[in-house]
Chain A
């Protein structure tokens, strides 16, 4: 089959497609585009909600650290939570920047890469949370003081101290395992799907497609 024949068939296909579709120009003129919602707006929810939440958390954590300046462990826990909150905020802003600058009028490879990266944002957020895990005992001190106004360090005994130490070690191991699991090649694990809040298949799809794009860009003869 010569390629000219294929192109002839393609032209016939084009005519057939046009015959089976009715394009209403008058209706198009009436369309109220400003009331239309782009399907991309659905992608904004996660970064905006993350940004707002962690802005509040960071603000409170800073206030907490200042108000409890007499106690080094409260200053440390407050600053720690502020640091990680700012990390989440920066990550959310980067995601928002990608989403808001998405312009379908750009090269296909660039846009599809950006869209896939947006889908991997949930993995980024989980990785940040995994880094926070080893500091669990300090988060506990912060939360108990913030919510119940109890200074756990005043009632701590040797046994509790040992428990804190063991907890820290265990959380460090868990953190390490999660960080390893969240690497692209390891993402396809069933238990991880729970951690990804049911978005595991979307994440897998995004990772696979990024690999497809990389292969597509290679000029393999």
Chain B
């Protein structure tokens, strides 16, 4: 599929810029290596741009982006796709990851990052969306499971996180 040059599509660039935090959070939760994080961010951005032509504007932008970001991240996490990955001709990376940890970073943030990384890939997606304040209904639409199942899993996840922090 030939795609129009992205410079013609200011909307998608603006959408990506507006929601870049979503992408960062997903990537950081699924991938701890800095170089791989940069690759993963680019693959997610590529898939977002590719999917934009068929984007149904009646759906929330964040719901749409979560689906793409999680699907790419989980596939990458499981090494589904060929590791000769996404390649785009450009002089430097679209997103540079400068550092992973800051010495001054609150211990609680470090712990939360670690705890989230310990979840399996599917539950990780629920954790991230729950912490981002998404409703059970939105999470259900992204995951493809029932709303009641989302509720059950969130309950379990909350208990697990509380338990981990208490240790």
Q: Using a CB–CB distance below 8 Å, which chain A residues touch chain B? A: 1, 3, 6-7, 9-10, 12-14, 16-18, 20-25, 27-43, 103-112, 115-116, 119, 205, 209, 212-213, 216-221
CB neighbours (8 Å) of A16 from chain B are: 102, 105, 109
CB neighbours (8 Å) of B16 from chain A are: 28
Q: Mark B135-146, 1 if CB is under 8 A from A, else 0.
A: 000000111111
Q: Main SS of the interface on chain A?
A: helix
- The count of residues in chain B whose C-beta lies closer than 8 Å to any C-beta of chain A is 81
Which chain B residues in 34-68 approach chain A with CB under 8 Å?
A: 43, 45-47, 49-51, 54-55, 64, 67-68
B143/A21 in contact, CB under 8 A: no
> B33: CB under 8 A from chain A?
no
Q: Whose C-beta in chain B lies nearest to the C-beta of A1?
A: B165
A40-B81, A109-B122 provided; 14 other pairs, C-beta below 8 A? A10-B132, A14-B24, A16-B109, A20-B98, A21-B24, A27-B90, A28-B94, A29-B6, A33-B88, A42-B82, A104-B72, A108-B125, A116-B80, A219-B145
- Using A17-B21, A213-B122 as known contacts, say yes or no to A35 and B89 having CB atoms under 8 A apart: yes
- Using A32-B5, A108-B74 as known contacts, say yes or no to A24 and B95 having CB atoms under 8 A apart: yes
A33/B86 in contact, CB under 8 A: no
A27/B94 in contact, CB under 8 A: yes
- Using A36-B88, A40-B81, A219-B146 as known contacts, say yes or no to A108 and B67 having CB atoms under 8 A apart: yes
In the bound complex, CA of A157 to CA of B112 (Å): 77
CB neighbours (8 Å) of A110 from chain B are: 144
